[in-house]
A = this chain, B = another copy of it.
Amino acid sequence: MSEGERLSWTEVRDRIHGMILDSTYMPGDKLPRDEDLARSFGCARSTVHRAMGALSESGIVERRRKGGTTVRADPVTRATLDIPVTRREIEAKGMVHSYRLIQKSMQMIPDAVAEGLGLPAPRAMLRVEALHLADSAPYIFEDRWVCAQTVPEILHVDLERESANEWLVHNRPYSRCDVRLYAHKADHKDAARLSVEIGDALLIIERATWIGANPITSVRATTMPGYQLLTGS
* A228 neighbours in B (Cβ, 8 Å): 180-182
- Cβ of A121 < 8 Å from any Cβ of B? no
- Cβ of A167 < 8 Å from any Cβ of B? no
* A227 neighbours in B (Cβ, 8 Å): 182-183
- Cβ of A119 < 8 Å from any Cβ of B? no
Which of A107-115, A131-139, A143-151, A170-178 forms part of the interface with chain B?
A: A170-178
Chain A residues numbered 45-68 whose CB sits less than 8 Å from any CB in chain B:
59-60
Q: Interface range on chain A: under 10, 10 to 19, 20 to 34, or 35 or more?
A: 35 or more
Given contacts A20-B173, A81-B78, A173-B21, whether A183 and B225 have CB atoms under 8 Å apart is: yes
Given contacts A21-B175, A81-B81, A82-B76, whether A183 and B170 have CB atoms under 8 Å apart is: no
Which of A98-106, A122-130, A198-206 forms part of the interface with chain B?
A: A198-206
Partner of A182, one of B83, B173, B186, B203: B203
Copy number in the complex reads 2
If over half of A's interface residues share one DSSP class (helix, strand or loop), that class is named, otherwise mixed; here it is strand
* A179 neighbours in B (Cβ, 8 Å): 77, 79, 230-232
18 residue pairs from A and B, CB less than 8 Å apart = A21-B173, A60-B173, A74-B85, A74-B88, A74-B169, A75-B169, A77-B84, A77-B177, A78-B80, A79-B83, A80-B81, A179-B230, A181-B228, A182-B229, A183-B201, A183-B202, A183-B227, A185-B185
